């Protein structure tokens, strides 16, 4: 009896070590997007590229990743979780080294595409492992770890990326993946049990559906990435890409819904919990990636903060997520997960609403509670939403569903950033015009500002004090318009969190499911 208990404890410890290694790989894959995004200018100088050209090292990665993620369900059936993760991690590490060794822009873009596609399976495979390798009653700890990584990595990524490029070089943005990647690969090989794959599926691979899916998702990602800067359908390239994207989508959905062995099983969306959870996950991606996109812009443009100061402010949300992770798991175990989701969405809505009342002087103290509430809200939403979306599915459908859930969250973030960028342009123009309309030179306030500023410029020995004073008025106008714009964007995110609360009532409480057998 004692030996049996020891053997079981040893087996559980080994499995937890192996799963922790998978989480490391997942963390790397999510973090890599953010640390590179924060250091684009340094990479641009390193490979002598234009602003438009260098954007492709990020676009190429995202396009390849969004194509690879939904494919992970099919590949998991063919190879099993353990082998698929190891293949994905190995490809990610090798391509990371090749990215660091790139000799020009073209080679860097190519290796980034390989990196995005090869590493895509690590995120959904880790999510699937939390449900299929552990009993349903004990998988909450693993789900908490996933939730913390999925929300924490985007928050600390920009700060870490800035620190790496400042103290080392842009090559280390990729080389930093090597040691943890090899460690994850080794530990998964040693401690995660083998699963029996269905290699015969590879001979039934629907190549037409694969090509159609790649065109559909790849072009869709490119359209929403390039749309705001190219005025959307005023660009002939976006119009042509949209037509091809629509045709590819029709072909892909038709084959996916009619095939006996679909490349991606879209019928999982018939499960009300999964469909509702995927929608909540999409909005959560919008709020997570949108806030990480908007707040640093405000701090840099309006407050003139350095990357270190921006990182200090952003770290509040990261710390709240880190602290809130175990709390989210405990609450999900004790209370109805739907209640926990509602609490999380409410906190995220309140946090972004408070962020929507910025001034030109808002700093760390004013941003502390909005950041803390938003961070806590996101992690409290992420953990139970994953449990609700995947917890009602049979184990053999979890791998495919986890890939689709990840795609929904990532596309929610990508679409959200495109929406925010488009709104930013429109709101900024609107507010500048509104402020300019009220800046009549006949108004006493305007005359007082110009006279005081002119006197200050004269005292400072400026050659053209009147012209400089007028330029200061214009600069003040633009800054106030920018602050009003950022407030509008945060309020937009707040409304999206509040509205998706209505989806929570459509969720069912997940039922216990037995883990899939390991071989």
Q: Which of residues 439 and 119 earns the better pLDDT score?
A: 119
Kindly state the average pLDDT of the residues 109-136.
Answer: 83
Share of the chain above pLDDT 70, in %: 86
Give the Cα separation of 398 and 104 in Å (integer).
41
Check residue 275 and give its pLDDT.
87
Taking residues 130-134, what's their average pLDDT?
A: 77
- Going by C-alpha positions, the residue among 176, 167, 159 that lies closest to residue 315 is 159
Topology of the domain comprising 1-203: Growth Hormone; Chain: A; (1.20.1250)
**DSSP character at residue 168:** S
Q: Does the pLDDT value for residue 73 go beyond 70? A: yes
Whats the size of the chain, residue-wise?
Answer: 519
Q: What digits encode the pLDDT tens for the residues 154-177?
A: 777 777 777 777 777 778 888 888
Mean pLDDT taken over the chain: 81
The token duo for 438 is 């009220």
Domains of the chain, residue spans: 1-203, 206-262, 270-519
Better pLDDT: 144 or 190: 190
pLDDT bracket for residue 351 (50, 70, 90): very high
Can you give the pLDDT at residue 160? 79
Tokens 């318009």 identify what position? 481
Distance, CA of 217 to CA of 231 (rounded, Å) = 21
Q: Average the pLDDT over 308-336 and give the result.
A: 82
Spatial distance between the Cα atoms of 41 and 338, rounded to a whole number of angstroms: 43
Model pLDDT for residues 27-50, shown as the tens digit of each residue: 888 888 777 766 776 777 767 776
Q: What is the mean pLDDT of residues 315-336?
A: 83
State yes or no: pLDDT of 449 exceeds 70: no
Whole-number Å distance between alpha carbons of 427 and 248:
34
Prediction pTM value: 0.80
| CA terminus-to-terminus distance, the chain | 24
5 pLDDT more than 50? no
Whether 80 contacts 129, CB under 8 Å: no
- CATH value of 270-519 in 3.30.460.80, 2.40.50.100, 1.20.1250.20, 3.30.1490.480: 1.20.1250.20
Q: Half-sphere exposure of 120 toward its Cβ, with a 13 Å CA cutoff?
A: 27
pLDDT tens for 45-68 read 767 776 666 777 777 888 888 888
pLDDT of residue 516: 40
pLDDT confidence of residue 90: 93
């Amino acid at each position: 009896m004692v030996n049996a208990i020891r053997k079981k404890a040893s087996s559980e410890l080994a499995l937890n070590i192996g799963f922790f290694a998978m989480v490391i790989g997942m963390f790397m894959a999510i973090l890599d997007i953010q640390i590179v995004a924060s250091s684009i200018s340094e990479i641009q100088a390193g490979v002598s590229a234009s602003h438009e050209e260098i954007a492709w090292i990020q676009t190429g990665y995202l396009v390849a990743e969004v194509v690879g993620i939904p494919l992970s369900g099919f590949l998991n059936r063919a190879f099993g979780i353990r082998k698929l993760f190891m293949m994905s991690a190995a490809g990610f590490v090798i391509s990371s080294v090749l990215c660091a060794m790139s000799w020009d822009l073209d080679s860097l873009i190519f290796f980034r595409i390989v990196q995005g596609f090869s590493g895509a399976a690590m995120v959904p495979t880790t999510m699937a492992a939390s449900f299929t390798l552990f009993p349903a009653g004990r998988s909450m700890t693993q789900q908490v770890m996933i939730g913390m990584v999925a929300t924490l990595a985007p928050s600390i990524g920009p700060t870490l990326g800035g620190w790496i490029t400042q103290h080392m070089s842009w090559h280390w943005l990729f080389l930093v993946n090597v040691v943890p990647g090899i460690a994850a690969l080794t530990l998964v090989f040693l401690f995660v049990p083998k699963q029996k794959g269905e290699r015969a599926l590879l001979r039934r691979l629907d190549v037409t559906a694969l090509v159609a899916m790649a065109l559909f998702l790849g072009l869709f990602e490119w359209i929403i990435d390039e749309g705001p800067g190219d005025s959307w359908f005023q660009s002939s390239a976006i119009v042509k890409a949209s037509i091809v994207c629509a045709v590819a989508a029709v072909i892909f959905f038709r084959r996916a819904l009619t095939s006996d062995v679909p490349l991606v099983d879209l019928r999982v969306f018939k499960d009300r919990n999964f469909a509702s959870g995927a929608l909540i996950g999409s909005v959560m991606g919008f709020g997570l990636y949108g806030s990480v996109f908007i707040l640093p812009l405000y701090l840099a443009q309006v407050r003139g903060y350095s990357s270190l100061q921006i990182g200090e402010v952003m770290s509040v949300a990261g710390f709240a997520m880190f602290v809130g992770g175990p709390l989210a798991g405990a609450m999900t175990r004790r209370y109805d997960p739907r209640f926990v989701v509602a609490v999380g969405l409410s906190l995220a809505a309140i946090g972004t609403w408070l962020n929507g009342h910025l001034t030109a002087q808002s700093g760390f103290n004013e941003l502390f509670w909005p950041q803390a509430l938003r961070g806590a809200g996101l992690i409290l939403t992420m953990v139970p939403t994953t449990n609700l979306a995947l917890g009602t599915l049979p184990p053999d459908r979890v791998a495919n569903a986890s890939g689709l859930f990840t795609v929904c969250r990532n596309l929610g973030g990508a679409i959200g950033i495109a929406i925010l960028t488009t709104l930013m342009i429109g709101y900024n123009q609107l507010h500048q015009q509104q402020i300019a309309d009220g800046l009549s030179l006949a108004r006493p306030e305007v005359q007082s500002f110009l006279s005081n500023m002119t006197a200050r410029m004269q005292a400072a020995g400026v050659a053209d004090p009147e012209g400089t004073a007028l330029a200061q008025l214009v600069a003040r106008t633009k800054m106030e318009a920018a602050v009003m714009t950022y407030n509008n964007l945060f309020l937009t995110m707040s409304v999206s969190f509040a509205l998706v609360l209505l989806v929570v009532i459509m969720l069912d409480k997940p039922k216990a499911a037995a883990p899939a057998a390991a071989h």
